[in-house]
Amino acid sequence: MPHIPSATVSRLVTYLRILTELRERGVERTASDDLARDAHVSAFQVRKDLAYFGRFGTRGAGYVVETLQDELRRILGLDRPWNAAIVGMGRLGGALADYPNMDAYGFSLRAAFDSDPAKVGSAVGGLTVQPMSDLAETAKRESLDIALLTVPAEAAQTATEALAAAGVRGILNFAPVVLDAPSGVHVESADFLAGLTRVSYYLHANLAEHDGASVAG
Amino acid sequence: MPHIPSATVSRLVTYLRILTELRERGVERTASDDLARDAHVSAFQVRKDLAYFGRFGTRGAGYVVETLQDELRRILGLDRPWNAAIVGMGRLGGALADYPNMDAYGFSLRAAFDSDPAKVGSAVGGLTVQPMSDLAETAKRESLDIALLTVPAEAAQTATEALAAAGVRGILNFAPVVLDAPSGVHVESADFLAGLTRVSYYLHANLAEHDGASVAG
């Protein structure tokens, strides 16, 4: 298995979204040109991304939407359920707990944790908030795979280490900090301030172009 | 100005985070090896990413933390304020409106919108929720640059077009859909379900390795 660039993994998620929508609309076949247009990348990029995982589609006839959707779900590990917990039940944690249809995407929310005794015991999105001291036992009982980490920035590294010690192997980090991931733990970022900064870069770069100036200064 | 890969832009945000933390800790100088370790990339990658924007640091002496932080802030467009609005005042929109210190990151939250008459007029995070019909006028008055788009998936494309028509040029999309961005509008994704799917991929790929099986099937 070659090393798969993280940008390819992100694009596979995008292709799967597009295929799911095509299938819902009853479209049976598609081509790399069409996927490329909808994903805002080149058709070469689509073919290159898919080629990491084998041969899909037929030259000239394109892809069968249902087959490629199923293959991408399998490649992305979405053909099995994942057990998830939210760590940090502030406003963002509460919003995620109430998010509709997380199950429909293959993620089963099994537990919610907070270090604040005032929050422990409260009901959020069908779950009862547990203290962080329950983490290890609950992680084992519920076979927790993934944590949505919504604690404040200054608490994120400590929580990450507690999650690793409890055997949780995947973390989606919402805090605006770069985590030092323990061995065997995979961290992805869902940090909206990083997203806002990327938007800032592109607006700024574009402004600079229009002004005839270079962002390189 | 060469084309900058989007992965480079994401890493610049990470380097800036690390430099900000170093500066807070009173560290005056750093090296590409140190930045690379903290960012979980190679030192070659750090030097390559920075080289797009000019020459920073001195061979053998590394980088002055304060200087490189300032340069990255300038490159990323964070040396000026951006005016932002939240579109979609459900639970996620509400959580974002209450997010502490968005200002400290250079983003000034100026308005909040919702299409639900029951939400219009309510106070959230110091703002009064406005109807979508106010968008064009408010966007002009407040010089809105960026929208945090937190509407349901099925409403995201229509809201994107309304934002583009109102002159908003940057969108951070939280909905789990691939938007067709109008000309002149830059869209970045802050979609947590895509983040969960990336975690799923890495856990699945890692499992497959441990099982001696290939994810390529």
Spatial distance between the Cα atoms of B128 and A106, rounded to a whole number of angstroms: 36
Residue to substitute from B198, B206, B211, interface A, most A β-carbons within 10 A:
B198
A213 close contact with B: CB closer than 8 A: no
Strand pairing category for B82-87 and B107-114 = parallel
Q: Which pair of tokens denotes residue B141?
A: 């008055």
3-class state of residue B189 by DSSP: strand
pLDDT tier at B212 (50, 70, 90 boundaries)?
very low
For A6-75, CATH number?
Answer: 1.10.10.10
Q: Which pair of tokens denotes residue B74?
A: 């300038």
Which of 167-206 (A) contact B at CB < 8 A?
169-172, 174, 176-178, 180-181, 186, 188-206
B185-to-A213, B20, B181 alpha-carbon distances in Å: 20, 29, 6
Q: Write down the pLDDT at residue A100.
A: 74
Average pLDDT over residues B100-109: 88
Tell me the shortest Cα–Cα distance from B115 to chain A, in angstroms: 19
3-class state of residue B152 by DSSP: coil
Tell me which chain B residue has its CA closest to the CA of residue A203. B170
CB A68 within 8 A of CB A56: yes
A203-to-A145, B68, B171 alpha-carbon distances in Å: 37, 21, 10
Reported pTM: 0.90
Q: What angle do CA A177, B49, A184 make, to 5 degrees?
A: 45
Q: Write down the pLDDT at residue A2.
A: 67
CB B152 within 8 A of CB B124: no
CB contacts, 8 Å: A176 with chain B: 17, 105
CB A76 within 8 A of CB B201: yes
Q: Is residue B215 over pLDDT 50?
A: no
CB B107 within 8 A of CB A196: yes
Domain ranges of chain B: 6-75, 82-194
State the amino acid at position B91 in one-letter form: R
CB contacts, 8 Å: B169 with chain A: 203, 206
Q: Which long-range contacts (CB under 8 A, 24 or more apart) does A21-26 make?
A: A21/B177, A21/B178, A22/A65, A23/A65, A23/A66, A23/A69
Average pLDDT over residues B181-195: 94
Q: Write down the pLDDT at residue A125.
A: 86
Taking only the tens place, the pLDDT of each residue in A172-196 is: 999 999 999 999 999 999 999 999 9
Spatial distance between the Cα atoms of A101 and A51, rounded to a whole number of angstroms: 31
- What is the separation, in whole angstroms, between the first and last Cα of chain B? 42
Q: Is residue B213 over pLDDT 80?
A: no
3-class state of residue B131 by DSSP: strand
CB B129 within 8 A of CB B116: no
Spatial distance between the Cα atoms of A60 and A31, rounded to a whole number of angstroms: 9
CB A200 within 8 A of CB B76: yes
Q: What is the CA radius of gyration of chain B?
A: 20
CB A83 within 8 A of CB A110: yes
A125 close contact with B: CB closer than 8 A: no
Quick one: how far is CA A128 from the chain centroid?
24
Tell me the shortest Cα–Cα distance from A60 to chain B, in angstroms: 23
What mean pLDDT is reported for chain B?
A: 91
Low-confidence residues of chain A: pLDDT under 70: 1-2, 208-217
- Architecture of the CATH domain B82-194: 3-Layer(aba) Sandwich (3.40)
In Å, the largest CA–CA distance within chain B is: 62
Q: What angle do CA B204, B177, A202 make, to 5 degrees?
A: 100
Q: Write down the pLDDT at residue B100.
A: 74
